[in-house]
Structure 1
Amino acid sequence: MLGLGELEASVMDVLWEAAEPLRVRQVLDELNQQRHLAYTTVMTVLDNLHRKGWVVRELENRAYRYRAVTTRAEATAQSLREVLDSVDDRESVLLHFVSTVTEEESDVLRRALRRKPKKR
């Protein structure tokens, strides 16, 4: 994801997979299945993600519960939008991208474009 470091992206993956907001300890437990991190490291990452607007937190008793502000799909789409907005030749970028999509992805794009209302 654009704008996220490796550990931030891993934390976001945990939050996106969760069915409910998570405490720091719960995020840590998930991450520690693959690596060994300190509680304070994960707490700092979650605080940074909150400051950056990626997560919201709700105080429950004496601990915060964190949840992602957007879905993974929405965040990915926003990243793609930022990439397109950063180049002068959007048409060329889009044409190169379209040349890499699978038939299934092409069908999805066609259906989406048919449903999209034209801007005036």
Structure 2
Amino acid sequence: MTHEIRAAILARYKSIHSFCRKHPELKRSTVYQVLAGKYAGHSVRQLAAIRAALDGCAPEEPKNPIVTAEQIADAVQAFKCGQCRRLEKQCAACRTQTIKEAKVVEQLVASMR
């Protein structure tokens, strides 16, 4: 994918540097890192932004399903209870910890949008 975008940029512009000068909304170092496959961040999002700049349109937002902490907690709790050896499977301490964990996962998913 990066090779195709690099080839498209070079076909339309003299160099990657020239492309970056025409598109100041993109950081030059980020473009070079993404095209080299060495970008440490969310490279799919950056590739979409580069492709959008190349095509002359706004980048398409990735569509992540909206999942709430409660839904995550329900799914994880169902799994935990299925693996649990206790007779009383709905213990409050386990549910409290699962909700805390689910909130962390919810924040992670929200930050990826």
Superposition TM-score tier, normalisation by shorter sequence:
under 0.3
Higher strand share: 1
TM-score between both structures, scaled by the size of structure 2: 0.26
Higher helix share: 2
Which protein has greater RCO, CA pairs closer than 8 Å, 6+ apart? 1
